Chains A and B, each alone.
Chain A
Amino acid sequence: MDLIIYIRCFKGIVLREALRFVHQKERFFSALVRPLVWLGIFAAGFRSVLGVAIIPPYETYIPYEVYIAPGLIAMIQLFNGMQSSLSMVYDREMGSMKTMLVSPIPRWFLLISKLLAGVFVSILQVYAFLMIASLWDIIPPISGYFTILPALIISGLMLGSLGMFLSSAIKQLENFAGVMNFVIFPMFFASSALYPLWKIEETSEWLYYVCFYNPFTYAVESIRFSLYSQINIEYTIGILLFTFIFLFLSILGYDPARGNLQKKGGK
């Protein structure tokens, strides 16, 4: 199959996701309001309670708002990843996922294209958030706005493929709502999004390990370092590894020979 066919297919899937995004304006606003509530209310309340020491990549004491900004960016991507998976469960229940899966183009390519389309939408949301966050003095170096992009692509892919795997394993839309509670909240709270890992270690060692091995921590920290034009090898390797695992599982989940579609009996 020619490369041009793959390009057209990819373009079509991204365009569809973008059009859906444009048509669903409330989705865009709710995606923005959520982190802004955390920033405007939660962070304002907690800044006096939590003292943040100087930790890399920061070179000086920072306000709590600055600390949680990368966590909130990752939160946008987490919600977006789960939401696009939610739409996949919806699509599958409604049938429109089938039209994609019966395309002659290899399924792994279709799924990765759909994932990247979701990542593209999440990146738009992140940049909109960063613009508004500058009102809270969250202003990274100019280069940070560019260097954050690769981190956003990888973390978006990781969280999107986790969602895609879950969508392949979930039978009905109703069940997915439960998984949202069991996945989103534990992932977000047991991570370095709201408090640094050393602070958690002071309180509870086992919780520290939970947070340390939480894939979401790797997304948050990759974003944090890249926002200040730095790279942390440990987190970068970790996030790539998690992305590969989740991607592999989600492609397997949608594989007609081995996947979950078959086990579910087409429901």
Chain B
Amino acid sequence: MTVALEIKNVSHRFGDFTALDDVSLNINSGDFTVLLGLNGAGKTTLYSLITRLYNNNSGSIQIYGFDVREDSVNALKNIGVVFQQPTLDLDLSVRENLQYHSSLHGISSLDANKRIDNEIVRIKLEDKIKNKIRSLSGGQRRRVEIARSLLHKPKLLLLDEPTVGLDIGSRQMILDHVKTLCKKNNLAVLWATHLIDEIDKGEKVIIIDKGKVLESGDVSKVIKKTKTKNIRDAFNKLVGIK
């Protein structure tokens, strides 16, 4: 099995505040891994380091063997990202937003339009392609962002709290869509969330709190190790929620 993301001994500080403390983790291709932590646990900082928005000053981060610091070009080519904040241009249409992203990856217009047409069918928004982002619902915008993150055919998909603020229906739809992509395309997915009900039994989980990885592995293994009944209890026990 190929290692998609390998993080070794990464720490990160903002002044006196330690956002990440000696974090190490591995994600394999084809794995849907949930990064579970409360707000402020360090999930977004970790994503910023993986995507090189910040430089890691300690440890190493490798994406399919490419070091993010040493070979950012090849490392970033393999990543698709959906950020926690909405990142679409509200005044441009769905197609214009997707074309802009394609150009940032050097994809030709002809190729980009083919890929856009494919992805838009997959997220079932064909009829909205000419609409401005402003006119779409929150769930639809998220789907466009997922489609956008896949346009350059990445092998590792990072999603930072992608379902925050969405209704139950949209949440489930997006979750199912990404899980299907993961299985069908052998994508490695790192899904950050604080919503425990987004984790299924057969998946992998990394529990993070106050910048530290407390536990990681198969959900069943984590439950067994913490001697609890389910992942919610395991999380509460590890994080110290009574």
**Pair from one complex:** yes
A9 → B minimal CB distance (Å) = 6
Q: Are B108 and A256 in contact (CB under 8 A)?
A: no
Q: Are A104 and B103 in contact (CB under 8 A)?
A: no
Q: Are A256 and B74 in contact (CB under 8 A)?
A: no
A204 → B minimal CB distance (Å) = 43
For chain A, what secondary structure do more than half of its interface residues adopt (helix, strand, loop), or is it mixed? helix
Please, which residue of chain B has its CB at the minimum distance from the CB of A10?
B103
Q: Are A19 and B104 in contact (CB under 8 A)?
A: no
A94 to B91 Cα, complex, angstroms? 13
Partner of B52, one of A12, A94, A102, A265: A102
Q: Are A105 and B104 in contact (CB under 8 A)?
A: yes
Q: Is A41 close to B, CB under 8 A?
A: no
Known: A12-B103, A96-B87. A104 touches B54 (CB 8 A): no
A262 to B102 Cα, complex, angstroms? 27
Q: Are B107 and A8 in contact (CB under 8 A)?
A: yes
Q: Are B85 and A12 in contact (CB under 8 A)?
A: no
Q: Is B178 close to A, CB under 8 A?
A: no
Q: Is A181 close to B, CB under 8 A?
A: no
Q: Is B21 close to A, CB under 8 A?
A: no
Partner of A99, one of B77, B104, B106: B104
A5 to B14 Cα, complex, angstroms? 35
Known: A101-B53, A262-B55. A23 touches B92 (CB 8 A): yes
Q: Are A102 and B81 in contact (CB under 8 A)?
A: yes
Partner of A257, one of B48, B55, B96, B103: B55
Q: Is A40 close to B, CB under 8 A?
A: no
Would you give the 0/1 interface string for A93-111, flagging 1 where the beta carbon is closer than 8 Å to chain B? 0111011111111100010
A20 → B minimal CB distance (Å) = 6
Please, which residue of chain B has its CB at the minimum distance from the CB of A266?
B48
A96 to B100 Cα, complex, angstroms? 11
A104 to B153 Cα, complex, angstroms? 13
Q: Are A266 and B54 in contact (CB under 8 A)?
A: yes
Please, which residue of chain A has its CB at the minimum distance from the CB of B84?
A95
Q: Is A132 close to B, CB under 8 A?
A: no
A101 to B106 Cα, complex, angstroms? 14
Considering only residues 226-258 of chain A, those with a C-beta below 8 Å from chain B are 256-257
Across-interface contacts of B14 in A (CB, < 8 A): 265
A254 to B107 Cα, complex, angstroms? 24
Q: Is B24 close to A, CB under 8 A?
A: no
Q: Is A15 close to B, CB under 8 A?
A: yes
Q: Is B76 close to A, CB under 8 A?
A: yes
Known: A96-B88, A256-B54. A104 touches B76 (CB 8 A): yes
Q: Is B186 close to A, CB under 8 A?
A: no
Considering only residues 66-113 of chain B, those with a C-beta below 8 Å from chain A are 72-77, 79, 81, 83-89, 91-92, 96, 99-109
Known: A20-B92, A102-B81, A256-B53. A12 touches B100 (CB 8 A): yes
Across-interface contacts of B84 in A (CB, < 8 A): 95
Q: Is B51 close to A, CB under 8 A?
A: yes
Q: Are A95 and B48 in contact (CB under 8 A)?
A: no
Would you give the 0/1 interface string for A1-44, flagging 1 where the beta carbon is closer than 8 Å to chain B? 11011101101110110011001100000000000000000000
Known: A19-B92, A19-B96. A99 touches B101 (CB 8 A): yes
Q: Are A9 and B104 in contact (CB under 8 A)?
A: yes
Q: Are A94 and B85 in contact (CB under 8 A)?
A: yes
Q: Are B106 and A6 in contact (CB under 8 A)?
A: yes
Partner of B87, one of A19, A98, A266: A98
Q: Is A261 close to B, CB under 8 A?
A: yes
A13 to B107 Cα, complex, angstroms? 13
Q: Is B226 close to A, CB under 8 A?
A: no
Question: Known contacts A103-B105, A104-B105; can you find 8 more A-B pairs with CB under 8 A?
Answer: A9-B104, A12-B100, A95-B84, A95-B86, A98-B85, A103-B104, A104-B76, A256-B52
Q: Can you list 17 residue pairs at the A/B interface with Cβ under 8 Å? A: A2-B106, A15-B99, A16-B96, A95-B83, A95-B86, A98-B53, A98-B81, A102-B52, A102-B81, A103-B76, A103-B105, A104-B77, A105-B73, A105-B104, A265-B17, A265-B19, A266-B48
Binding site for B on A (CB under 8 A): 1-2, 4-6, 8-9, 11-13, 15-16, 19-20, 23-24, 94-96, 98-106, 110, 256-257, 261-262, 265-266
